[in-house]
């Protein structure tokens, strides 16, 4: 459904993203994890063709969606995809909702625009979707305004909008970060059900390793703007090959016996302005050798997994 | 083990003023909360957004006045203290806030931020300001060279370390930590938790640790208080203890475990937290509770011993 290869993005002379490669099939959930500033949202924006809004551009690589190259796609065609076959859910529901319009009108407009539905058919579609999202009294809710709803409800409305045009790919950028644990569980559960019921492809961006552990089939780990490791979720958690992934997994409070401590990674994440040479993790890496400071390791594929490290494998 | 803090029947209500067409309404943000915090223990407080965790923290430090109840700190009745006495006592109890971005004044340098408590208390730092700052920054694992930077020049994790350094400035015995890692990445969270563990061991600190992350609380805390709509509904005296309160159990079931091997069907708690305004009589969890029966709608359950620990429920599991 989606194939991203060697994607690189620049804003003027700043190049925050490079070497991003992954693929996603129908009915599959792919998680993108990484710390703040690692390039997760930029990856999503590149796929949605929204970089030009902030003067960014794709400088290398390709994004193929259902056989169609997106990096060279003209804006009118992109417009049809966005909100149509590709749905987007953002962290803050208010960036997607208009505070002055009724919920029903907002969700209807998606199907009217992308599927050419009549107003009446669109409303029926909206009520249907709200009901599958287990929103009580969907017809009534359509008459409400966003401010009359809780954060969790608003996020469900945003999901309804993303689903209204029956997309094939859903991109969710931190969809539950602003929500309470119990509401988060409801939303993630919903997304999970949707993937199964509608055979959707879901790209789930999050920094919450618990969400990844519970929902994703595959995971891409990003560090300093690069995809540094990917593979099936079980392997990423239990047999990570990249020193950064190994350290990251050690930071998660799980499976610890009495007296066992969390491990932590020394130092801090570099920013675009001070990306190190060679392997971007080398100043913090215990396995670092001379070659690491000069040569950027390539992402090397091995079956379902891939890792970018000169000394991948054996733990330190 | 003696208690550093004893909280009894603590309540805080907020009221919204009425108008020509509106009734004045009362909200119970913290409702009849009692617990002890023994010296050297780490007690966790968990619960959904709005259940009163931060209000409880602010009541304990007397940043706001309780409506009812008593607070004893190191044997002394805090509510009997004058504000001058309270100011001296506050040196012994400090708070670390959730958001390192808003907790530090962006106009001041790190040095000034760390010295703030001395300025507020009107005391001279022993050994002089510069030496204190160096000492405190070292204590939280920050390079003292950062002292003349401004908050926007350091990372979120570093800011949270500054928040901790400042809280430690007056050598308190109690730290109230209100979601100290909620806005941080997991690797930075691990660094901060490691630092808190080390400080507890070195300085013999006592912590009240507020969080909505159950996995983290289970890892870090000795004992867990579960709050729902202003009340403590269960006290788990150790982290392996089987929960008995239906709310605690649903909360645990709707929490994601950070382990793909322990995948399970999450049964999220349906419905939303009821409004804390004008509480109905009976158990506040009744509308969402699978165990509910008649008595729950009329009588508010009190905390009482059940399978060896405190539970506030008529039909514990
Ligand atoms: N418009 C822009 N101009 C220049 N640099 C940018 C721009 N947008 C993002 N960046 C840089 O790109 C990097 C990646 O940002 P991105 O928003 O993708 O991170 P993220 O992984 O989504 O982080 P978070 O978890 O904080 O959302 C950051 O270092 C950021 O500073
Ligand atoms: N100064 C105030 N005036 C009126 N209501 C208040 C005030 N402070 C808090 N509240 C209310 O008291 C209740 C408890 O709030 P509190 O901030 O203690 O919750 P919390 O458990 O810390 O939530 P969160 O997890 O979102 O931080 C909420 O309903 C809140 O709106
Ligand atoms: S390439 Fe070298 S520095 Fe980078 S992660 Fe591998 S061992 Fe560490
Ligand atoms: S008192 Fe009743 S309603 Fe409340 S938690 Fe117990 S069983 Fe449920
Ligand atoms: Mg982002
Ligand atoms: Mg709070």
| ipTM, 2 dp | 0.84
Residue B26's H or E segment, with its range, is strand B25-38
Q: What are phi and psi of A203, to 5 degrees?
A: -105, 110
Say yes or no: CB of residue B14 within 6 Å of ligand 2.
yes
Q: Is some CB atom of chain B closer than 8 A to the CB atom of A54?
A: no
**Distance (Å) from CA B230 to ligand 2 centroid:** 9
- Distance, in angstroms, between B283 CA and closest chain A CA? 19
Pairing type for strands B68-73 and A14-24 reads: unpaired
Backbone angles phi, psi at A135, to 5 degrees: -95, 120
Question: Would B135 be classed as within a structural domain?
Answer: yes
Smallest CA–CA distance from B183 into chain A, residue: A177
Q: Which of A151-155, A265-269, B41-45, B264-268 has the highest mean pLDDT?
A: B41-45
Domain that holds residue B130: 104-171
Any atom of ligand 2 within 6 Å of the Cβ of B29:
yes
Shortest CA gap B251–chain A (Å) = 7
Q: Please list every residue in chain A whose beta carbon sits closer than 8 Å to the beta carbon of residue B158.
A: 268
Q: Chain B contacts of A134, Cβ < 8 Å?
A: 270
A11 - beta bridge partners? A14, A56
User: Residue B20: what pLDDT?
Assistant: 67
Q: Which residues pair with B311 in a beta bridge?
A: B234, B304
Q: Note the pTM of the prediction, 2 decimals.
A: 0.89
CA distances from A11 to A17, A44, A49, A53, A55 (A): 10, 16, 14, 11, 6
For residue B38, being part of any structural domain is answered with: no
Secondary structure, 3-state, chain A: CEEEEEEEEEECCEEEEEEEEEEECCCCEEEEECCCCCCHHHHHHHHHCCHHHHCEEEEEEEEEECCEECCCCCHHHHHHHECCCEEEECCCHHHCCCCCCCHHHHHHHHHHHHHCCCHHHHHHHHHHHHHHCCCCCHHHHCCCCHHHCCHHHHHHHHHHHHHCCCCCEEEEECCCCCCCHHHHHHHHHHHHHHHHHHCCEEEEECCCHHHHHHHCCEEEEEECCEEEEEEEHHHHHHCCCCHHHHHHHHCCCCCCCCCCCCCCCCCCCCCHHHCCCCCCCHHHCCCCCHHHHHCCCCCEEECCEEECCCCCCCCC
Distance, CA of B131 to CA of B124 (rounded, Å): 12
Does the residue B141 lie in any domain?
yes
- The 8-class DSSP code of residue B78 comes to G
Distance in Å, alpha carbon of A268 to nearest chain B alpha carbon: 8
The answer, yes or no, to whether residue B269 has pLDDT greater than 80, is no
Q: Which atom of ligand 2 lies at the shortest distance from residue B52's CA?
A: 18
Rounded to the nearest angstrom, the minimum Cα separation between A296 and chain B is: 23
A315 pLDDT higher than 60 = no
Ligand closest to B250 (CA) is: 4
For a ligand 3 pocket test, name from A228, A229, A242, A311 the mutation site with the most ligand atoms within 8 angstroms of its C-beta. A311
Q: What percent of chain B has pLDDT over 70?
A: 95
Q: Quick one: how far is CA A76 from the chain centroid?
A: 24
Percent over 70 (pLDDT), chain A: 98
Cβ neighbours of residue B17 under 8 Å, at least 6 residues apart? B24
Q: Is residue B225 in a domain? A: no
3-state SS, residue B256: coil
The whole-number average pLDDT for the span A204-229 is 94
pLDDT value at B60 more than 90: yes
Which residue's CA is the nearest one to ligand 3's atom 6? Answer: A309
Cα–Cα distance between A201 and A86 in angstroms, integer?
10
Q: How far apart are CA A55 and CA A48, in angstroms?
A: 14
Answer whether residue B151 is part of any domain.
yes
Q: Provide the number of structural domains found in chain B.
A: 1
CA neighbor of A158 nearest in space, from A185, A130, A179: A130
Which residues in chain A are closer than 8 Å to B187, comparing Cβ atoms? 35, 247-248, 251, 264-265, 269
pLDDT tens digits for B183-212? 788 888 898 899 999 999 999 999 999 998
Residue of B nearest to A149 (CA): B272
Q: What is the pLDDT of residues B15-32, one digit of tens each?
A: 876 666 666 778 889 999
Contact, B234 vs B248, CB < 8 A?
yes
Rounded Cα distance, B94 and B117, in Å: 10
CB contact under 8 A, B256 and A189: no
CB A92 within 8 A of CB A145: no
Q: What is d(CA B267, CA B244) in angstroms, rounded to the nearest whole number?
A: 17
Residue A183 — pLDDT band, cuts 50, 70, 90? Answer: confident
d(CA B294, ligand 4 centre) in Å: 10
Residue B268: pLDDT above 70? Answer: no
Nearest to A183 by CA among A155, A142, A141, A143: A155
Residue B165 lies in a domain: yes
Instruction: Tell me the chain B residues in contact with residue A253 when contact means C-beta distances shorter than 8 Å.
Output: 215-216, 218-220, 258
Task: Tell me the three state secondary structure of residue B19.
Answer: coil
Q: Is A252–B214 a contact, with Cβ atoms under 8 angstroms apart?
A: no
Instruction: Band the pLDDT of A122: cuts 50, 70, 90.
Output: very high
Is the CB of B285 within 6 Å of ligand 4? Answer: yes
- For helices A243-250 and B186-203, the axis angle rounded to 10 degrees is 50
Collect all residues of chain B within an 8 Å Cβ-Cβ radius of residue A184.
256
- Check residue B22 and give its pLDDT: 66
The answer to the question of residue B147 being in a domain is yes
Q: Where are the alpha helices (DSSP H) in chain B?
A: 53-60, 83-90, 100-103, 110-121, 129-139, 156-168, 186-203, 214-220, 246-253, 294-298
- Res. B106: pLDDT tops 90: no
> What average pLDDT score do residues B282-289 get?
92
Mean pLDDT, rounded, of chain B: 89
Question: Cβ contacts of residue A12 below 8 Å, gap of 6+?
Answer: A55
Q: Judge whether B263 lies within some domain.
A: no
CB contact under 8 A, B259 and A207: no
């Amino acid at each position: 459904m989606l194939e991203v290869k060697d994607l690189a993005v620049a804003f003027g002379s700043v190049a925050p993203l490079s070497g991003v490669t992954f693929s996603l099939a129908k009915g599959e959930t792919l998680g993108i994890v990484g710390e703040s500033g690692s390039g997760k949202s930029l990856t999503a924006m590149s796929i949605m063709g929204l970089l030009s809004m902030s003067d960014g551009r794709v400088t290398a690589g390709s994004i193929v969606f259902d056989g169609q190259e997106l990096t060279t796609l003209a804006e009118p065609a992109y417009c049809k995809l966005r909100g149509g076959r590709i749905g987007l859910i953002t962290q803050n529901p208010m960036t997607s909702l208009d505070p002055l319009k009724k919920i029903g009108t907002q969700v209807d407009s998606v199907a009217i625009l992308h599927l050419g539905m009549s107003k009446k058919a669109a409303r029926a579609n909206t009520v249907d979707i709200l009901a599958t999202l287990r929103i009580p009294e969907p017809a009534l809710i359509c008459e409400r305004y966003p401010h009359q709803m809780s954060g969790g409800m608003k996020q469900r409305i945003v999901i309804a909008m993303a689903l209204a045009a029956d997309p094939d790919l859903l991109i969710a950028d931190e969809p539950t970060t602003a929500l309470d644990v119990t509401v988060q569980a409801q939303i993630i559960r919903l997304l999970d059900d949707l993937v199964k019921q509608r055979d959707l492809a879901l790209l789930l961006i999050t920094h919450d390793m618990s969400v990844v552990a519970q929902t994703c089939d595959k995971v891409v780990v990003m560090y300093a703007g690069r995809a540094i490791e990917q593979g099936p979720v079980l392997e990423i958690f239990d047999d990570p090959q990249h020193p950064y992934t190994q350290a990251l997994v050690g930071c998660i409070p799980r499976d610890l016996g009495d007296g066992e401590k969390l491990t932590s990674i020394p130092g801090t994440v570099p920013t675009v302005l001070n990306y190190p040479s060679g392997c971007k993790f080398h100043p913090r890496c215990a396995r670092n050798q001379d070659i690491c400071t000069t040569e950027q390791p390539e992402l090397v594929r091995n079956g379902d997994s891939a890792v970018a490290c000169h000394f991948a494998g054996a733990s330190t | 083990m003696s208690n550093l803090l004893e909280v009894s029947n603590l309540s805080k209500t907020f009221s919204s003023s009425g108008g020509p067409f509106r009734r004045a309404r009362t909200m119970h943000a913290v409702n009849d909360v009692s617990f002890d915090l023994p010296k050297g223990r780490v007690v966790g407080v968990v619960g959904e957004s709005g259940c009163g965790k931060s209000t409880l923290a602010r009541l304990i430090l007397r940043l706001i006045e309780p409506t009812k109840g008593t607070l004893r700190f190191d044997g002394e009745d805090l509510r009997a203290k004058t504000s001058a006495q309270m100011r001296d006592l506050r040196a012994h109890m400090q708070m670390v806030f959730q958001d390192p971005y808003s907790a530090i004044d962006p106009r001041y340098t790190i040095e000034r931020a760390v010295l703030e408590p001395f300025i507020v208390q009107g005391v001279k730092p022993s050994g002089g300001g510069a030496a204190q700052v160096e000492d405190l920054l070292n204590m939280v694992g920050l390079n003292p060279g950062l002292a003349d930077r401004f908050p926007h020049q350091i990372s979120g994790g570093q800011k949270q370390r500054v928040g901790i350094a400042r809280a430690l400035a007056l050598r308190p015995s109690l730290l109230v930590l209100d979601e100290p890692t909620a806005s941080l990445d997991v690797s930075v969270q691990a660094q901060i938790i490691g630092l808190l563990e080390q400080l507890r061991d070195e300085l013999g600190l006592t912590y009240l640790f507020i969080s909505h992350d159950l996995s983290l609380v289970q890892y870090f805390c000795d004992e867990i208080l579960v709050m729902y709509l202003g009340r403590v509904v269960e006290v788990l005296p150790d982290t392996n203890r089987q929960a008995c309160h239906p709310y605690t159990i649903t909360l645990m079931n709707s929490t994601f475990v950070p382990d793909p091997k322990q995948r399970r069907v999450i049964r999220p708690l349906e419905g939303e937290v009821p409004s804390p305004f004008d509480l109905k009589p009976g158990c506040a969890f009744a509308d969402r509770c699978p165990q509910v029966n008649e008595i729950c709608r009329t009588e508010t359950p009190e905390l009482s011993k059940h399978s060896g620990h405190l539970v506030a429920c008529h039909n514990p599991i």
